[in-house]
């Protein structure tokens, strides 16, 4: 596989074109074209420069090869990478804008039992440019440009654990929020992690004010370990301590994702456990009804019971919402489309 030109910042592109004997302004032409989701072969630059770039860099590192549209407006994308691997993403429409769910790895090694991304394990990390190219492709496919984006918000919650690909993700966050590019503010970006504690501290120290989201899903370490192997390494107490550090560093409240799984984590004692853990902390809880994965035995909680659980949390003084279930008719859970494609 060739190198990925989208890995480079504008300043790095300037250094590259100057090294090739071209004038500095060619970097801006090239950068603008790439940020519009164009292939190198489609950018308006001299033929000689284009040829030299194509000798070393992939023409278009991420391509949309399949799109599924839900009755609720959700769109799911299957992307082909230059090495033949595939990843996926989702575009969700809300009143405030369009949120894209972005993948950071091909597969995942975290082993969470409710997630289809882990079924084949981790294949490889994505480069920062491959992560960015997903956003550029979906923005272009939906008629967006750099002045009026079709993608307004991002969540790093597709295939892969973002903090397990830490350096590429940090570079991506800087590139996707850069002026002159697609320029999505870090405050409009959420990073979802299963709780890699040392990397939460590292993320806090970068000063990037992204929304930190933790996949919690249980109220005890023992219960969490049944569906999330990472719980055997990092305790809930360690995660909470890291989250408090993140809040003190960034001033951003943190969010807990809590997937409601029938018979696992949604009884009265679980609600009380969350209240005991989180009351008084600068956090919010997103309750999610499970998108069932056919390769797993876990079952979703019905809507009435989900609202009952939400009511218990609110009565206990917690800030919580029940996320509307979207994309279930097109395999909305992380990794489902990719898993089906690879069969």
* CA dihedral angle for residue 104, residue 108, residue 236, residue 290, rounded to 10 degrees: 90
Give 79's strand partners: 64, 87
Catalytic residue among 108, 115, 194, 334: 334
Burial class (CB in 10 A: 0-12, 13-18, 19+), 237: exposed
Reference 326, options 87, 98, 79; nearest CA is 98
Query: Given strand 189-193, what is the order of strands in its sheet?
Result: 62-69, 75-81, 86-94, 97-102, 153-156, 189-193, 211-215, 254-260, 283-289, 320-323
The DSSP H or E segment spanning 17 is helix 10-19
Instruction: Please determine whether the domains at 5-56 and 62-342 fall in the same fold group of CATH.
Output: no
pLDDT value of residue 120: 84
Beta-carbon contacts of 204 under 8 Å, excluding residues fewer than 6 positions away, are 242, 245, 246, 249, 250
**In angstroms, rounded to a whole number, what is the distance separating the alpha carbons of residues 339 and 328?**
15
115 catalytic, yes or no? no
71 torsion bin: left (phi>0), alpha (psi -120 to 50), beta (else):
alpha
* Placement of tokens 């940020």 in the chain: 35
Domain boundaries, the chain: 5-56, 62-342
- Which of 22, 88, 130, 161 is the catalytic position? 88
Q: Does domain 62-342 have CATH number 3.50.50.60?
A: no
| Segment holding 283, helix H or strand E | strand 283-289
Return d(Cα 300, Cα 333) in angstroms, integer.
12
Q: In which residue are the tokens 């979703």 written?
A: 300
Give the other-Cβ count within 10 Å of 320's Cβ.
21
84 conformational bin, left if phi > 0, alpha if psi -120 to 50, beta if neither: left
Q: Please give the Cα distance from 52 to 320 (Å, whole number).
A: 54
Fold entry, domain 5-56:
DNA polymerase; domain 1 (1.10.150)
Under 8 Å between Cβ of 293 and 329: no
Residue 285 pairs in a beta bridge with 256, 320
Q: Please list the residues that pair with 154 across neighbouring strands.
A: 100, 189
Known catalytic residue: 88? yes
Per-residue confidence of the chain (343 residues) as pLDDT tens digits? Answer: 999 999 999 999 999 999 999 999 999 999 999 999 999 999 999 999 999 999 999 999 999 999 999 888 899 999 999 999 999 999 999 888 999 999 999 999 999 877 878 888 999 999 999 999 999 999 999 999 999 999 999 999 989 999 999 999 999 999 999 999 999 999 999 999 999 999 999 999 999 999 999 999 999 999 999 889 999 999 999 999 999 999 999 999 999 999 998 888 989 999 999 999 999 999 999 999 887 666 666 777 889 999 999 999 999 999 999 987 666 666 655 556 666 666 5
**Which pLDDT score is estimated for 275?**
97
Helices (H), 143-262: 166-176, 197-206, 221-227, 236-250
């Amino acid at each position: 596989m060739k190198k990925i030109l989208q890995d480079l910042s504008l300043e790095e592109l300037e250094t590259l074109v100057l090294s090739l004997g071209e004038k500095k302004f060619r970097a801006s032409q090239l950068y603008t074209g790439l940020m519009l989701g164009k292939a190198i072969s489609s950018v308006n630059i001299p033929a000689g420069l284009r040829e030299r770039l194509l000798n070393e860099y992939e023409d278009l590192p991420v391509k949309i090869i399949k799109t599924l549209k839900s009755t609720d407006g959700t769109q799911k994308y299957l992307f082909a990478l230059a090495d033949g691997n595939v990843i996926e993403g989702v575009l969700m429409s809300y009143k405030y804008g369009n949120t894209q769910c972005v993948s950071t790895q091909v597969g995942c090694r975290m082993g969470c039992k409710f997630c289809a991304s882990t079924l084949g394990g981790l294949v490889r990390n994505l480069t920062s440019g491959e992560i960015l190219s997903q956003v550029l492709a979906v923005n272009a496919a939906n008629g967006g440009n750099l002045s009026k984006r079709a993608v307004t918000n991002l969540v790093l919650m597709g295939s892969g654990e973002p903090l397990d690909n830490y350096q590429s993700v940090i570079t991506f966050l800087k590139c996707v929020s850069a002026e002159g590019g697609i320029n999505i503010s870090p405050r409009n970006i959420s990073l979802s992690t299963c709780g890699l504690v040392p990397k939460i501290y590292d993320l806090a120290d970068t000063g990037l004010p992204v929304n930190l989201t933790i996949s919690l899903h249980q109220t005890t370490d023992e219960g969490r370990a049944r569906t999330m192997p990472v719980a055997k390494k990092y305790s809930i107490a360690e995660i909470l301590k890291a989250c408090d550090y993140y809040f003190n560093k960034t001033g951003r409240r943190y969010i807990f994702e809590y997937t409601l799984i029938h018979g696992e984590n949604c009884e009265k004692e679980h609600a009380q456990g969350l209240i005991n853990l989180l009351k008084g902390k600068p956090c919010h809880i997103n309750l999610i009804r499970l998108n069932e994965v056919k390769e797993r035995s876990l079952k979703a909680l019905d809507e009435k019971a989900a609202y009952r659980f939400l009511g218990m949390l609110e009565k206990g003084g917690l800030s919580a919402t029940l996320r509307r279930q979207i994309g279930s008719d097109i395999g909305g859970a992380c990794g489902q489309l990719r898993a089906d494609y690879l069969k």
